[in-house]
Structure 1
Amino acid sequence: MTANTPILTFASTDLILEIPANVEHQAQLHSQSFADIGSYQAYVNELCLGAVLPWLQEDFTPQAKVWPHTKALSSFWELVNGTAVIVDATRFILVPSENIDSSELRVPQEWVDIPSWVGDYYLAVQVDPDEGYVRVWGYCTHEQLKNKGNYDPGDRTYALDAMDMIADISILTVAQEFCPHEVTRSLTPELPTLPQAQAQNLLNRLGKSEVVTPRLAVPFSLWGKLIEHGGWRQSLYEQRLGLPEQRSVAQWLQRGVSQIAADLGWGKLDLQLSAAGARSVEERQPGVSLSRQLAIAGQVYELIITPQGEPDAPYWRFELRNATVGAAIPGGFKLRLLTEDLQPFPNNEDIATTAVEQLYVEVALEAGEGIVWEIEPLPDSYDREILKF
């Protein structure tokens, strides 16, 4: 921190953290990968995360990490302010703002009312890009937000008065250590089911960049359910950037895995095609597969997708194996496929009742149909994705 930073104007309980220079540089570069409204929001969120995450790792646990994973952040920041960080079994929601007024904390409704997004603790963070620091000036629990916060339907935020928050950040460390069973969350009901046809209509509508604030353009029950689905959230982000389809398995096999998919760990096994310029499933050399490594319960596994069958009746095989040669999949593991809107279908899962060499599910799909894969126990940093066929 530079000597001229006005630290003395802050309360003694405030936590002042410097924004690393490399974070500032990366945030400026990354902010170019957003639609107009998301650009500055992403910039502020990245500065906040770059300063606060190292503190969480130092004061709480070195294993503190972004939820669901860092590659998903762009699809969050394009749509809503805030970042989730997992500290052991506790979820922190970082809520950044450039506003110097610390009379209240305003939290977007998504972080409060989407069940799978809910946090335990919400940190109020003032970000000052010009001076190169962030100020964590208070925190509250989800339970406090729901019971004491005021909901503003205009911008869909929960506002909590600073007087109802805990200003001394050092208390948070003590609470984590000595009050592990503190009730931090209120019960959050599930949002209504969103049929696939309705979701597709929403994606087509909200994916247009001229819809400046998509989160306020439709009722929250529809919006919340749409972006809670990792595949739909990512698709909305990509459409708003004007990107072509990024998760077409047929295209991956023909032309190579897209950069977005490669960043998630997808790659090809046996890159040879039957002939230069091969254009269809039928023209590919048998044995060409796609794979992605997954960390599950401390071990590495491999999810493999392979085209099967005859040219006039193709189908797809999803297979899970232990990445260690000769190692098995423990009993209790499940491999499951769901429709794009998360509905089951006949013979859609394989369960290891005892240790097995592999789990697999085979499925025939129409052109353009989407599939979501799931594994139990959940892989580390799991976020639903829709694979198109």
Structure 2
Amino acid sequence: MTADTTVFTFANPTDLILEIPTATQNQADVHSQSFSNPTSGYQGYINQLCLSAVLLWLQEDFTPQAKVWPNTTVLSSFWELVNGTAITLDATRFILIPSETIDLSELRVPQEWVDIPSWVGDYYLAVQVEPDEGYVRVWGYCTHAQLKSQGSFDPGDRNYSLDATDIINDISVLAVARQLCPEEPTRSAIEEILTIPQPQAQNLIARLGNPEILTPRLAIPFQLWGGLIEHGGWRKSLYQRRLRLPEQWSVIEWLQSGVSQVAETVGWGSFDFQLGAAGARGIDQRQPGSILSHQLAIAGQIYELLIIPQREPDTTIWRFELRNLTVDAAIPGGFKLRLLTEDLQPFPNNEDIAITAVEQLFVEVALEPGEAIVWEIEPLPDNYDREILRF
């Protein structure tokens, strides 16, 4: 909901003043407990207030399909580590940069949102948050290209800053620009972030998982930091380590004790094979036991990813299987199901591709105890955030 800017004598006529829903303030206060220390908790609180107001505005004034990237369930793992939130509108990405400061002389954007390829946005919104007054003030925006070409970079706190005189202050221009100049480039080219070897990533998670390190983003060189948190599975592992949570992604434990609460929030569940075999079409019914399942929305249809243990005398073969949940519907040609190692390396027979429409895609893999797998599907499922499944 947009507030009446005439009652804010300090505001510029071009400022966008948005009310923070009362219910959101209460929820955000509870949400702030999901962090390792008060500093990160307050950062999460401010980001939640900002998101609730700005997302509603984008949904009302731009498109109802505006949504959080990658999904709302993993926001704490971002806010524990870095300020800012991403929202997608079709192929356009907005980065919300909230601040409580009354000094609006510049916009300061953490390097992660500018130089990590999968995090980069098109438009960066400067948002002043007033928790006690119950409103946020969107006072300007810029593009990624502006940040890279006109902004200055501070290596001390790893922020890009853009002077207020270089920011577009009239937020109403944003809608006009998107309508009249949809093809105008908004992003600058940036360097790729190198993939970190798995042992090095585990060492970094163990070190930075100490919650007494209040700013882990500044504790190691950016190339290492970027490579660590661009990997969704490692980012979540670091967050959970900082909260002293036990392992949440052990497939063996899921089968023995039930799917963890964290995994349930992103859609994982299990069912007993003998009770649910009718729903698992084509699965070898000689194999008893539990099956793990994850429903996914892909290109407007609902699919199911299954993990089926197939026990052999000397080992367990793990079958990853993708099916369309619509009765008699197929998987379209061009779909891919791919498994990778924890550090995103391929291995022999790690991929199944639908050349034409098929009933199922599957990949089978034998794993040693303690090994981990990352799954990928093309086209990308809605709300996808990379996971590390441990066996």
Please, what TM-score do these two structures have when normalized by structure 2? 0.94
- Give structure 2 stretches of 5+ with no counterpart: 276-286
1:25 matched residue in structure 2: 26
- CA distance in structure 2 between the partners assigned to 1:73 and 1:5 by the alignment: 34
How far has the Cα of 1:314 moved from its partner?
1.1
Equivalent in 257, 279, 288 of residue 255 of structure 1: 257
Question: Residue 261 of structure 1: SS of its match in structure 2?
Answer: helix
1:52 matched residue in structure 2: 54
Question: Residue 125 of structure 1: SS of its match in structure 2?
Answer: strand
1:278 matched residue in structure 2: none
- CA distance in structure 1 between the partners assigned to 2:5 and 2:145 by the alignment: 39
Question: Runs (4+) of structure 1 moved beyond 2 Å?
Answer: 1-6
- CA distance in structure 2 between the partners assigned to 1:25 and 1:17 by the alignment: 17
2:342 matched residue in structure 1: 340
Question: Residue 187 of structure 2: SS of its match in structure 1?
Answer: coil
Q: Give me the CA root mean square deviation.
A: 1.7
1:166 matched residue in structure 2: 168
- Determine if contact 1:319/1:359 at 8 Å carries over to the other structure: yes
- CA distance in structure 2 between the partners assigned to 1:2 and 1:146 by the alignment: 33
How far has the Cα of 1:287 moved from its partner?
4.1
What do the CA deviations read for 1:171-218 (whole angstroms, capped 9, x no partner)?
001011111011110001101221111111101100111111100000
How far has the Cα of 1:72 moved from its partner?
1.4
Question: Residue 94 of structure 2: SS of its match in structure 1?
Answer: strand
Aligned residue type for 1:97: S
Aligned residue type for 2:21: P
2:136 matched residue in structure 1: 134
- CA distance in structure 2 between the partners assigned to 1:189 and 1:286 by the alignment: 49
- Determine if contact 1:65/1:85 at 8 Å carries over to the other structure: yes
Equivalent in 287, 304, 307 of residue 305 of structure 1: 307
1:237 matched residue in structure 2: 239
How far has the Cα of 1:368 moved from its partner?
1.1
- CA distance in structure 1 between the partners assigned to 2:378 and 2:351 by the alignment: 11
How far has the Cα of 1:286 moved from its partner?
1.5
1:318/1:112 Cα in 2 relative to 1: closer, same or farther (>3 Å)? same
- Determine if contact 2:50/2:136 at 8 Å carries over to the other structure: yes
Asked if residue 95 in structure 1 is aligned to residue 97 in structure 2, the reply is yes
2:15 matched residue in structure 1: 14
How far has the Cα of 1:256 moved from its partner?
0.4
Asked if residue 360 in structure 1 is aligned to residue 362 in structure 2, the reply is yes
- CA distance in structure 2 between the partners assigned to 1:381 and 1:313 by the alignment: 34
What do the CA deviations read for 1:248-268 (whole angstroms, capped 9, x no partner)?
001001000000100000000
What do the CA deviations read for 1:17-54 (whole angstroms, capped 9, x no partner)?
00000110110011001011310000000000000000
- CA distance in structure 1 between the partners assigned to 2:116 and 2:158 by the alignment: 13
Question: Residue 9 of structure 1: SS of its match in structure 2?
Answer: coil
Question: Pairwise mapping of residues 1-389 of structure 1 onto structure 2 (< 5 A)?
Answer: 7-36=8-37, 37-270=39-272, 286-389=288-391
What do the CA deviations read for 1:322-364 (whole angstroms, capped 9, x no partner)?
0112111011110000000000000000011111110000001
- CA distance in structure 2 between the partners assigned to 1:388 and 1:131 by the alignment: 46
- CA distance in structure 2 between the partners assigned to 1:231 and 1:356 by the alignment: 30
Aligned residue type for 2:8: I
- CA distance in structure 2 between the partners assigned to 1:140 and 1:21 by the alignment: 29
| Residues matched between the structures, number | 379
Aligned residue type for 2:24: V
How far has the Cα of 1:302 moved from its partner?
0.2
How far has the Cα of 1:8 moved from its partner?
1.5
1:277 matched residue in structure 2: none
- Determine if contact 2:274/2:289 at 8 Å carries over to the other structure: no
Aligned residue type for 2:303: Y
- Determine if contact 1:5/1:131 at 8 Å carries over to the other structure: no
- CA distance in structure 2 between the partners assigned to 1:372 and 1:30 by the alignment: 28
- Determine if contact 2:113/2:119 at 8 Å carries over to the other structure: yes
Please, what TM-score do these two structures have when normalized by structure 1? 0.95
The alignment-based identity, stated in percent, is 72
- CA distance in structure 1 between the partners assigned to 2:254 and 2:194 by the alignment: 34
- Determine if contact 1:60/1:173 at 8 Å carries over to the other structure: yes
- CA distance in structure 2 between the partners assigned to 1:80 and 1:343 by the alignment: 27
Aligned residue type for 1:10: A
- CA distance in structure 1 between the partners assigned to 2:11 and 2:114 by the alignment: 28
- CA distance in structure 1 between the partners assigned to 2:138 and 2:356 by the alignment: 49
- CA distance in structure 2 between the partners assigned to 1:100 and 1:59 by the alignment: 27
Aligned residue type for 1:297: A
- CA distance in structure 2 between the partners assigned to 1:5 and 1:101 by the alignment: 21
- CA distance in structure 2 between the partners assigned to 1:23 and 1:176 by the alignment: 29
1:39/1:272 Cα in 2 relative to 1: closer, same or farther (>3 Å)? farther
Question: Residue 26 of structure 2: SS of its match in structure 1?
Answer: helix
2:278 matched residue in structure 1: none
